[in-house]
Amino acid sequence: MILRYLIERGQSSRMEIVRHTKLAQSAIWRIMNELVNEGLVQERGFTTGKRRKPVIYGPTRSFITSVVYNVEVLETLVAIGFLDGSWKVIERFPTPPNFELFKESVKMSFEKIIKEKTIRKDITKIVFSLPGMVNYEKKLLIFAPNLSWKNIDFQQEFVDLNMEVFVENDANLSLMAEQFFSQDVKRSKVAFFLYFGEGIGGAISVDGSIVRGKNSAAGEIGHVTFNGDKNEIESFLSISRLIDKVQKWIGNNDSPLEEKFQRLKRLWFIGQRDVKKILEDYLHHVAVVLRDLVYFLNPDVIILGGLINDIYETFGPYIRRELETITEKEILTGVVIRDSIFKEVPPSLVGGNVLVIENVLKTL
């Protein structure tokens, strides 16, 4: 309870922790000493504005909690995470065309990290965020269609790294990150994360727990059919496919998907007619999917994000108008639709570190 409070609320004095937890002062003093001795909490300085200044404490940054490999079809981001919830991107490399080459890239990357960073064998974990169906408990990638990877036991494949491996779907990790840092998701009974990348993914939480389903396929909205049996939602909402349609206007180069999307936005704002028509058709399909989510799940919050984290900020008024023309007003009332709070990195990367923090809190 105390460590979670410090991670979620930031650094605090012992008396602030007493007021929040309602535990006895003697218990707080004893537990804080144990946390400091265990290297999980450290002194961060003194409070300001008082003659006698109490010591303030925060989660340690003396070791990394996680090494996160955020795998997308075109690029893999590598980040390290810390116990206070912060993270730092340290490397990126093109995702290799086959898994064996990917494995070699990860091993070289990890060897470099452990030479330069401090880890704790009892806490630090390797996390893979993957764009596909994942069995979290078995550490198994069932299928990642856009990568053509299937039935891969990640713990076994990376056993020679001598570290515990976590594997999770990118949309699930994104929702975990929002749940950890966002008050509206914390308070929600039902929340949904719509993940935009080369493909499209989704994640559901009910009463604070991620719903994975019997065969780990819950939330996989990209494979739901749309306008006919052969047309999956992914074919309408994939950012990569959208970019392909406007390629001749934005230029054909090897820049990241996010940069191409920024050029697409500029063409929208200046009113380029052909691009505007293609994009409005795309946004109509976004509105239709949101309508289906509202009717099917009746969520408190729907979050849009992934590789692109400003879709609603940019196109929200248009999406909302489309949504209101096809959805009963009473059904939409009170449903929050917004972008992810994480703008600079894929929220799944943040979620990888959150996954390890939650594991620490459960196993202390």
% of the chain with per-residue pLDDT over 90: 82
The model's pLDDT over 231-261, given as tens digits with 9 standing for 90+, comes to 889 989 999 999 999 999 988 777 888 899 9
Residue 163 three-state SS: coil
Query: What is the predicted pLDDT for the residue at 21?
Result: 86
pLDDT at 317: 96
Closest CA to 129 of 209, 206, 201: 201
Q: Is 110 in contact with 125 (CB distance < 8 Å)? A: no
Asked whether the predicted pLDDT for residue 129 surpasses 80, the reply is: yes
Q: What's the CA gap between 222 and 110, in Å, rounded?
A: 32
Q: What is the pLDDT of residue 53?
A: 63
Cα-flanking dihedrals φ and ψ of residue 70, to 5°?
A: -90, 100
Mean pLDDT over 341-360 rounds to: 96
Q: What is the mean pLDDT of the chain?
A: 93
Predicted confidence (pLDDT) at residue 51 exceeds the cutoff of 60: no
What's the pLDDT score for residue 95?
Answer: 95
| Whether the predicted pLDDT of 49 surpasses 70 | no
182 phi/psi in degrees, rounded to 5: -110, 125
Q: Which residues on adjacent β-strands are paired with residue 149?
A: 144
Alpha helices in 158-256 (DSSP H): 170-181, 183-187, 233-237, 239-245, 247-250
What pLDDT score was predicted for residue 275?
A: 94
Average pLDDT over residues 121-144: 96
Tokens 């002194």 sit on residue: 43
Q: What are 59-71's pLDDT values in tens digits? A: 999 999 999 999 9
Look at residue 254 in the predicted model and tell me its pLDDT: 77
pLDDT score at 8: 86
- Measured CA distances, 312 to 219, 258, 291 (Å): 20, 15, 15
Residue 57 backbone phi and psi in degrees, to 5: -125, 155
What is the pLDDT, as a whole number, of residue 292? 95
pLDDT band at 302 (very low <50, low <70, confident <90, very high): very high
And the tokens for 97?
Answer: 């065309």
Q: By mean pLDDT, which of 118-127, 245-254, 321-330 is the weakest?
A: 245-254
- Nearest Cα to Cα of residue 356 among 136, 43, 102: 136
